[in-house]
Structure 1
């Protein structure tokens, strides 16, 4: 008895492979813009949270050391260039060799802008905490401040959705919020 085995070749035909690639390319074209928006929204939230953390570090060190602690932009008055947190040993609101460095944040991505209000808008810009943890001006006046971080590659409703504001109360408490979902989240907010 002879057994006859027939083997059939398995695999994809060229047409099946081309149809699969076309479907995958279509799905990728639909999904890629959503992924970019998701990634940039995540970076925006991260930037706002990093600023809140820097403020918390400055406030904590001011109270711990019994000295003023300051957060300043790394370049001129441009908060998007990053920020530096330090204990201000010479009380001049400028980071120099005699001050104690706490944190340095690098520049934000180029599609973000960051603008301050209150002392965060001054020239030079700063947010200062006194030894009791309250925010104040260089003239020892208690003052709130805000920092708005937003996407500069969007406009209209999309831009509002992709905006975060960090509100620093006179008490030193800082919070990040989204103006699109929080009516108390404005650049003139004081708490």
Structure 2
């Protein structure tokens, strides 16, 4: 049977918008879609997963402001980029490992003030109220992954030797903010 398990590897870095970018190792299980911890693997195997190189950067370009719409202001921040070169030891059994990036928000403060007319905010109530520690920033299409091209890599066992590969991701903030206080009737 093709076993799949899920394991948290490490937090990489905090981006300017209070998002944590995380590299995950995931093995997905066919039976009932169950996700189990990498702790099921021997400690020697877990300790053999190595991040050989890690880099992150934020582009030096300025934030771009677009005021052409009469309804919303748009702005685009510089891109955050991250790369990780990973080595996975040989896999002795028929397992499928997917290694990749996720992004989770653990704090958000996004307020827009409109002088004495009011304010608007973008809030995640469960996060704000401390009911959850973080929330996925996946687009939902590739959940839990941040994407499905350079953001993930899959190793299918059994393998006779270690696998080395690079996973990379980039992101930027591109919101639309109304010119006036958003209200509903």
Per residue, is there more strand in 1 or in 2? Answer: 2
Instruction: Give the structure, 1 or 2, with the largest relative contact order (CA under 8 Å, sep 6 or more).
Output: 2
Q: Give the greater-gyration-radius structure (CA).
A: 1
The TM-score, its normalising length taken from structure 2, stands at: 0.24
